[in-house]
Structure formats: C-alpha cells, structure tokens
C-alpha cells in the first residue's frame, strides 16, 4: 500500500532524498549543521523541522515548476452557490456542500437573525453550566424525529463530534472496526480512545464480519463504524448487512451521515431511508450541520440513554461552549424546509445522475459513485489532478483536486459536488469542458526525471 502513496509518483528513494535536502535547507540553519535526532540543546524549535512541512515545500515547488496554481484558500466573494465569484470573475462552482441549495435562502437568514435578536451571538457558556437555550432542544428534537430515534445532541463541530464521542465511548480494552476509507475524524477519535483499531477493505461487509468476529472475544466493547455516503467516492454501503453484523457480534453500529442527510432517500432522510432499514437498528447516528443544513456543527442521534451519557460525559460537549443561537436556528429552519420541499432532494440527485452519466459515457473514471451529489473524477496522479483543476479554473469552473496524501497517489482525483441549485445547462456545460480538458491533460506527458532534478536543485539553492 505504501508504494502507491509516494509523492507525485516519485519513488520512495527520490522522495527521501528531497526531504533530506529540505532538512538541510530549513530557514536559519547553517548548511553544515548536522541533523540531530532528539537534540535537547538550547534554542528555538522550528516548525520547519517537521517532515510534513518539508513535504509541503516539495509540493509547492513542484506546482510552481509545472505551472499549476495553488487551488486552495481561494477567496470567494459573496454567497457561493451554483456560481461563485473569485477575483471579480464568476465561476461555475462544484466545490460546495450546499447540496439542497439552501445557503443564502432568505428564510434561513431570517431564522438566524431572529435567533440573534432573541439570544445574542453566543450562549457564552457550556450548556451544562448556563448555555442551555430552547433553540438547542428544538433542533435536537427535530434531528431525533428525522432519524427515528429517541433523542439527539448537537455539538459545535462536525470533526470534533466524532473525535470526542468515539474517543470517550471506547477505551483501551475495546475494539473499533471501521471501513478503510473512513473519515479522518473517526480515525482520530479511535486513536484518542486507545481502543484497538481494525480497518476492513472499503465496503466489504464480509471482511468486516470476519475481522470483527476474530477480534470480538478478546475485547470488552466493540464499535463498527461506516459512512452512509462516502465523501471521497460518492458510494454507499449495504446498510442492512452491517446492521446484521453488529447484531451478530453484539457491537454498536455507528453511521456517519455527514454527506447522506439531504441527499439519500426520496425525502433526503439519509441512508436508512435509501436502504429501507429501520433507523432504530443503528445504535449511533452521526451527522454534520454544515452540508445540507447550511450551518456549522455536528450531532449524535440515538437512544435516550446514549444521549444522556454523552451530555454528561463527552468532553467535547461538557467542556465546550454551546452552539451559537444563529447556527442552531439555521439548521432548524433548514430541516423544516427539507421536510416540506422534497423536490430539492430530487433535484440534487437528478443533477448528479446527469453529470455522472455524461462523464462516464465520455470514458472518465468515476469510481463507484452512485450519482448522489458526489462524483469523483479519478486521474491516477496528483500532477494530472492539479493540471486538470487548473485548466478547468482557467475556463470558469471551480472544482477542487484531491491530492496525495489525502488519498493514495494513484487515487488522486477531482471531486465534483452537485447541488439542487445547479441547472441542467450548467451541468452539461461543465461536463463538456471537463471532457475536453481531461483529454488534453492526459495527453500531456510529465518528465519525472526533470521534475526530480529541478526539485533537487531548488532545495540545494535554499541551503
């Protein structure tokens, strides 16, 4: 596996040589200064000594050499919807989680403003202390109703929700079995817990069954974790199969619905609705408020006992300020619109299915995407992904490349997010431009030897 994750396709040896040069070239270091592991001498420890920082410099130098502009941290002006304005130019926008098109909806803005007028911009304390507000409980009741559970709890961050809940629910005598492509937040939570972590091949429920069965008897509690809709690939698990595995091995089943809510199922209620599974069969539903619900934060929905435990014991809830009133009101209003306007869900799925069909017919690799809001275009190298994103940006399309190390080098890709706000004409236009530019980029060779030599010279010059 490691051989497939080499930077820009460089061999491990070439990458190591470049990093060695970066180590010698860190700012403030003399050219002859030796690299001492565990040096406890005086002076200031520089961030530039980190391997990750050195690798960032290699990527930046490679981008400059190849003429690929940095696609990250671009400044958007105004509301980013189906279109966005960057540098006074309007672009077709496929880099937004605004799945059902509610960002900027006047009803959403009015709800947020009303909450600020009533409660202020902050609740100014953790909820157990004095930060509890009616808007919190109204949002939690709405989330519980949507997921068919007894209760729910909202937290201020989506990533931190997984970290604090998994990190505190499990301990060193427990086991966590998860999809190999699970989100970073779940991995970080598992590491924090100290539990044994066992990944299974992507979507392979038979392997999950076998691995959980092998590990279960040697551990106390067990957690089986999957996503309802995988954000990098746009594919979905066999939810019923994973429910059966969890029951078979007396494990909790947790499903991350961050990219499923508002997208999967005829009403957008998520993976249980799409699969026809009783949502009460899932022990822990997790989701975020920043995608279809156009706010910020995370939530857990489940049994009353689970929610009571988390509200009193999860550090990320107990020791964190309560959700801002405007954020809670925004998501509550978005949930109401989602329930009353299912045509938004139909629209996002129709646009995504059209885009998927057009680019697949054009011969592009879209992996296992089911055509529900997320469609990856796999290029097979970070250089090609960067070049393609740059070419599309030049032609008025904003889409982000996903590069190593976020994915293995051979899995580098562009990731298109389709929304209900996109028109059919915009989708067809984007697909046509993508196919045209993809053909050009794939025909453009990259001299890896020349690139490696250039990077080596640049690192040497910096010494």
| pLDDT tens digits, 248-289 | 999 999 999 999 999 999 999 999 999 999 999 999 999 999
* Higher per-residue pLDDT: 311 or 7: 311
Catalytic residue among 21, 183, 259, 390: 259
Catalytic residue among 205, 249, 291, 438: 291
Of 26, 28, 21, whose CA–CA distance to 458 is shortest? 21
Instruction: Enter the DSSP assignment of 127.
Output: I
- Beta bridge partner(s), residue 223: 176, 252
- 313-341, pLDDT tens digit by residue? 999 999 999 999 999 999 999 999 999 99
Q: Which two tokens stand for residue 133?
A: 């507000």
* CATH 3.90.1150.10 placement within the chain: 1-97+343-463
Grouping H, G, I as helix, E, B as strand and the rest as coil, residue 297 is coil
Alpha helices, H only, 148-238: 158-169, 184-193, 205-216
Lowest-pLDDT range of 60-74, 106-120, 217-231, 232-246? 60-74
* CATH 3.40.640.10 placement within the chain: 106-340
- pLDDT at residue 272, rounded to an integer: 98
Spatial CB neighbours of 432, under 8 Å, sequence gap ≥ 6: 358
Annotation marks residue 259 as catalytic: yes
Annotation marks residue 113 as catalytic: no
Annotation marks residue 454 as catalytic: no
What is the DSSP annotation of 390-453? HHHHHTTEE-EEE-TTTS-GGG-EEEEE--TTS-HHHHHHHHHHHHHHHHHHHTS---HHHHHH
pTM for the whole thing?
0.89
- 174-221, pLDDT tens digit by residue? 999 999 999 999 999 999 999 999 999 999 999 999 999 999 999 999
Indicate the CATH number of 106-340 among 3.20.20.70, 1.10.10.10, 3.10.310.30, 3.40.640.10: 3.40.640.10
Alpha helices, H only, 201-324: 205-216, 239-248, 271-275, 304-313, 315-318
- 89-136, pLDDT tens digit by residue? 999 999 999 999 999 999 999 999 999 999 999 999 999 999 999 999
What number of residues does the chain have? Answer: 463
Catalytic residue among 96, 185, 193, 231: 231
Domain spanning 1-97+343-463, CATH architecture: Alpha-Beta Complex (3.90)
């Amino acid at each position: 596996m490691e051989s497939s994750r080499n930077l820009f396709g460089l061999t491990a040896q070439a990458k190591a040589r470049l990093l060695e040069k970066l180590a010698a070239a860190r700012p403030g270091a003399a050219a002859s200064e030796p690299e001492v592991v565990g040096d406890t001498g005086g002076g200031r420890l520089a961030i530039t000594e980190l391997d990750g920082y050195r690798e960032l410099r290699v990527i930046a130098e490679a981008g400059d050499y190849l003429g690929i502009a940095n696609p990250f941290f671009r400044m958007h002006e105004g509301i980013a919807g189906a279109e966005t304005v960057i540098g006074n130019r309007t672009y077709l926008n496929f880099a937004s989680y605004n799945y059902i098109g509610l960002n900027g909806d006047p009803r959403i803005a009015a709800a947020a403003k009303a909450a600020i007028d009533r409660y202020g911009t902050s609740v100014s304390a953790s909820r157990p202390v004095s930060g509890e507000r009616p808007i919190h409980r109204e949002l939690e009741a709405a989330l519980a109703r949507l997921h068919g559970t007894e209760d729910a709890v909202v937290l201020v961050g989506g990533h931190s929700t997984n970290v604090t809940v998994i990190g505190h629910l499990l301990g060193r005598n427990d086991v966590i079995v998860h999809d190999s492509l699970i989100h970073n937040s779940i991995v970080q939570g598992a590491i924090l817990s100290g539990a044994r972590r066992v990944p299974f091949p992507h979507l392979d429920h038979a392997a999950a069954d076998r691995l959980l069965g092998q590990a279960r008897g040697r551990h106390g509690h067990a957690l089986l974790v999957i996503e309802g809709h995988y954000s990098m690939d746009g594919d979905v698990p066999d939810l019923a199969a994973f429910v059966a595995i969890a029951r078979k091995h007396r494990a909790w089943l947790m499903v991350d619905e961050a990219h499923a809510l508002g997208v999967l199922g005829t009403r957008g209620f998520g993976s249980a609705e799409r699969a026809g599974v009783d949502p009460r069969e899932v022990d822990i539903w997790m989701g975020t408020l920043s995608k279809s619900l156009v706010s910020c934060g995370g939530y857990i929905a489940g049994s009353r006992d689970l929610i009571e435990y988390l509200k009193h014991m999860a550090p990320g809830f107990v020791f964190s300020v309560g959700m801002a009133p405007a954020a809670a009101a925004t998501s509550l209003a978005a949930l109401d619109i989602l329930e009353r306007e299912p045509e938004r869900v139909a629209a996002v799925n129709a646009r995504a299915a059209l885009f998927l069909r057009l680019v697949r017919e054009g011969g592009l690799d879209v992996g296992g995407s089911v055509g529900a809001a997320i469609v990856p275009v796999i290029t097979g190298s970070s250089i090609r992904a960067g070049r393609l994103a740059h070419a599309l940006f030049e032609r008025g399309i904003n889409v982000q490349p996903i590069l190593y190390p976020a994915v293995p080098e051979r899995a580098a890709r562009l990731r298109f997010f389709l929304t209900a706000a996109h028109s059919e004409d915009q989708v067809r236009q984007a697909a046509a431009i993508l196919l045209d530019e993809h053909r050009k980029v794939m025909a453009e060779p990259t001299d890896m030897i020349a690139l490696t030599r250039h990077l080596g010279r640049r690192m040497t010059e910096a010494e």
